[in-house]
Amino acid sequence: MRRFFPVLHPQRTLGLRGVMSWSDPVTGGDIPFQRLNSNHDLERFRGYQDFRFTDRGLLLLTAEYRWPIWVTREADRAGIDMILLADYGQVFHNVDQVTTENLAASYGFAFEMAGARGMLARVEFGRSEEETVVRFGLVSLIESGAGQLFQGRALDREP
């Protein structure tokens, strides 16, 4: 679940997201490694290397404060947003393992760039108690889904 709220200015938004996921084996056997929940995603545990956390269950809370730092004057929505981010959560094998002592935290910042041709690039700098991680990703604006925000407004609406 993801929600965005305007903060202090119409183009400054606070995004809150909660993710809870559980994987069960279909036949009662082991779950293939590729099907386990992990932090191999641009928006999960950004201060840790990919696949640092992998197990059957995932619980994650994310906060992002974003604002535009450069916008073209044309209506093509090209520009750059800056994002402050924080993640708090864990992966687990059994639900009874979810405790405050097992939660991992990370924080950082990101730049999100949208071009006139419908591509969205994101560079994230995440920090945790273990290390600093830089991640890069490209996605089509069509794939990012309705309600995705860029430059303080939903991408599926006219400027």
pLDDT digits over 83-142, tens only? 999 999 998 988 888 889 989 999 999 999 887 666 788 999 999 999 999 999 887 655
pLDDT of residue 65 exceeding 90: yes
Paired tokens of 135: 């991640």
- For the chain, the structural domain boundaries read 2-154
Check residue 62 and give its pLDDT: 95
Strand partners, 14: 5, 65
Q: Burial-class residue 84 by CB neighbours within 10 Å (0-12, 13-18, 19+).
A: middle
More confident residue, 120 or 39: 120
Is the full-model pTM beyond 0.85? no
How confident is the model at residue 134, as a pLDDT? 94
